[in-house]
Structure 1
Amino acid sequence: MKLLNTARKLSFQFKLMLFLCLFSIGLVSLVSYVNYRWHSEQMIEQTASQTQQIIEQLGTNINNYIDELYRLTLSPYYYDDIMGELVSLPSTTEERLNKKRKIESFLSSVMTLPRNEILRVYILTDNEIYSYTRTPYEMEDYDVYQDTDWYKQALQSKTPIYIPIHSEKAFGNKETSILSVARRIRSKEDNKQVLGVVKVDTDYSVIKSLCEKVEFEHRGALYIITNDNHIVYSKNKLPALDSQELIPFAVQSNATGNIIKAADGNRYILNIISLNEAGMKIIALNSYQDIILSTLKSITTTFLLVILCLIAALAGLFIFLRKFFTPLFSIVETMKVVQTGDLSVQVPLINDDEIGYLAKSFNRMLQNLNSVINRNTALVTQVYEMQYLHKSSQYEALCNQIKPHFIHNTLNTISLLIKCNEYEKAIDSIENLSLFLRGVMNVDKDIFLSTELQLVRAYLQIQQIRYGEKLSFSIEIDKKLLQTQIPALTIQPLVENCVKHSCEETRTPMHIRIHAYRNNNMLLITVSDNGLGIAPDKLEELRQNFASDNDARDNHQTIDNSIGLLNVQRRLKIKFGTSSQIFLNSILGEGTTITVSIPLDGKEEKDFV
């Protein structure tokens, strides 16, 4: 309580400076810690990435070496005399000895001597072994090779097989790490005839030499282990690292960038890749402490320098606050009044210095802000009215594009009927036209679905007079939907599109089906025909026109082919926004289906803003 009372008696400036000191020191400490962690993570990530690239390149080199061994097993195919000897069946002892001499001479001169790491090369058949070795010992399964898995697998495989690193006696009692490859040999004349298996045993010293070239930026360790966790190579520059202890953890983790911890508390960054074809894993370990040590020294030095600069800055800030505190608070109080919405206040001018200039600028800003708000209010009103008028005119223009299109076709039909003395049909067409024109008078209004269907029937009956039995139609509408209101001339242009692009372009009878049904809160209207259909490229172009909502007048080809569909689409979009859509599906040679979706409540009309 006494401490709290003492704090209350302290001056505001002292409390402010104390707060700034504590806050700044805490902030610097937090930033330094975050910076230290960030740099540490960056260093660890960078080291892990670089190490991963190194061991991936090492893995690539090892795989390339194994590929070279695979190519070496193809050597017999390049020598026709050797392939001929393998195919031949000598009948005498002398011929058999001559055959063996030639094949083993080939194994010596071509496959073994040019490469120092090759220890043994064999060509194995079901009843004969041809070999050349540099070691006093033959391969471990020399006498039972026909029963080994690798021999059976090589005979069945179309590709060479890899025999992982294994230990065998080669130069004495001490075992040598050997890796082998084998490939079956088939006759060049008869691909189905298997002549035997070629097997190459090589010292893994080449892999060791590749590993010796690897150097890490920090102290680290490199291991190559087999799939059964047997270490075949190790290079350890971390004296405290117990290889036998950490390798099982590394294999179990099997994830690049993981940090594993040894029994002595030291931590290491793990990088590991698997060479599935070679049956090996490459493991790299880097000391975590070595990586972050330089970062820790740099952050510590930076932290001390920042603290010294902060002390100097706080001292200067204290002097500055003592001199300019009063006018600054005056501005702050005025700003609080402005925050309430009162823009008529002004900051009292006390000094003619920088703070005074700030006060003058603040006063001018308030005056300009008042002026801008008034102008923006008037401008928003004007923009709203212009957009509203633009939408209205656009709606009327789209509606007017539809009327001449149908009237022109109808009058042409009536003219032809009169010329052919078909007066009764002409009268029927005139009556149907009259019915349609009465409906067109309300094109800018919503009408009942039943009224729209009357217009459609009138149009189709006129077209039936023109096309005769070639054109038929059916209307399937749920009676409950007949009183649903939709924009006028929504279905008729879709039907007209079917007639124009089907009846006029084919001689086969065409049937138009009009179907309407309810799906949740949407009215779905489909108009389908069995006409020629639309080519896939043209169908995609029409769908893109719908999606881009381009004005049909900007595209001459669109005017000729799909103005009715685009007008309907744009009218529905103006009225309903994105709530209404048109879907176009067609199969070339089978027909076209157009589906229109309209909100059932009819109250989702888009605002003109």
Structure 2
Amino acid sequence: MKQWSIKFKLLIMTGLLILLSVILVSFVSYHQYTKDFEIQSTERVQQIIEQASLNIDNYLDDLSRLSVAPYRNSAVMAALETTHPDSEIEQLKKTRTIEDFLDEIMIIPRNDILTVFVLTDTAYSSGRVQTNIDSKVDFHNFNWYTEALSTQESIFVPAHMQQIIKNPKNKVFSIVRQLRSTKDTEKIIGIIKVDANYSGIEAIGNKVNMGSKGGLFIVDADQNLIFSNVKGGHELDLYQTMLKTSHSKTTIRLDNENYLLNATPISRANWTVVAVNSVAELNHNAVKTRNIAFLMAIISSFLAILVYFFFIKRYLNPLLTIVKLMKEIDHGNLSVTFPNNRHDEIGYLGSSFNEMVHRIQEMLEENTKLVREVYEANFLQKEAQIKALFNQIRPHFIFNTLNMISLLMQSGKEEQAVDQINKLSSLLRGMTNWDKEITLGQEISLLEAYLSIQSSRFGGRLEYTITIANSLGSYYIPALLLQPAVENAVIHGCEMKKEKTIIHIYSDEDDTNLYFYVRDNGKGIDADKLAKLQERVESLVYNEDLHGLHSAGTGIGLVNVNKRIKLKYGTEYGLTIDSTPEVGTCVTIILPKLDVRKENRHV
């Protein structure tokens, strides 16, 4: 994404903003619409099932009123109160009275009433079609009969196949009520049972359309299913879930689908009518509208991006031109210029760009000049340091050495003179490597040549020992690193006192550093001179007056050595001087322990 052009980023960001804005508005509108629609649907469905409940209640009320019809016929009540007729004629008369009454009931224009029974010791019946009592059936064993004897309220028997008659064919719904004597209200003289065609409730329930996934069902107080046209067979699960919410209007989830439930009671029968609506089905049209809105949002976004593309291309071309010119500058071409013929913000940017290029050109010229001056200054400083180093060695050392060789030859000691000449030649040849790294072994060879010459010169007043581990001989160090310290030991030792001078050169090491020590038993340096010398040694700034240090006995060579070490390895390395008057001086050189095996590396 970081590699995308600004034009592409603007197009993507604009398109996403437009798309997300439209989708967000569509989603919020859809959410609010479905929420309002569910509320409206809930209220509408509630009204529908309340009307259905009222119709069922009226239907049950008609059947209930039919069950008290015997009380309005005194002949029937008198016949029922005659529990044991005196003769068969009386029994026949009783039977005819009751059945004629039942036949009159069946004349009413209610096609849903199929059969009416009056049950005493004997079962009496009348039906819309010819029915025969099944004498093998003991109606006293039915639960509804037992329950009717225990209450004066109507008992509603859920849907069941016709009972008591032979060859039952119809599914009926019944109302059962006990009949009490009008003379002795505590006396039960019979039971009336009215069988109504179940299609009456079905007709009312089926008139309520709750969609292909919804429906209507009726349950009683014992959660027996009275009626249902809900597909799927989850009526009781839905009802039990709704009971847990304690609300007559609720939304529940079953089988990965949300259902909207509305419930209303039928108090006469202690039933509950429950309407089931699939939320997905209710919102089907809303989902279609939402999808169309989303599609239009995507199309509109692409059209907006297309239009915006041409605007971006037109207005960003000057800016992209500046970017292109900047890439040219990045490749070193400073001759580019933005053709500024605009007077807006882009024009101001182009003018600033041209001014920036011009200033870069001027700065580069100034920088080149400064670099040249610094280089020349450093070169001159380096040259001065080299001259100071060589001047330290050349004047008195070479003169004294040549004088000693001359005396040896005059004394007839030609072999010793030749040996001293060879050592001086080796020493001078080693000095030609001042700008390179040499092995510690080569440095030690130079020291031995130098000290051998000085020992011969002082004739027994100078002794020296070099005890540097052979294992360190392959380590590379800057050339002539130890020689100035050794030379100072000779100058401040042998030249300043008549007693024997002993110079000891030795080394030490740890895991990270190498330590070289040049110790003598010379005159030493007092505290003030030692502090000034140490201060000059620690200074990394070249001083034009350093040429006077030697004459003052301070040792310019030590300054150069310390400076070379710190510039090459870092300020944590270098040279320190420890001296005690009349005891001697020790110069310590600290180098990093680098296992380098490459020759001829420039310092």
TM-score, normalised by the number of residues in structure 1: 0.41
Specify the structure having the higher radius of gyration (Cα). 2
TM-score, normalised by the number of residues in structure 2: 0.42
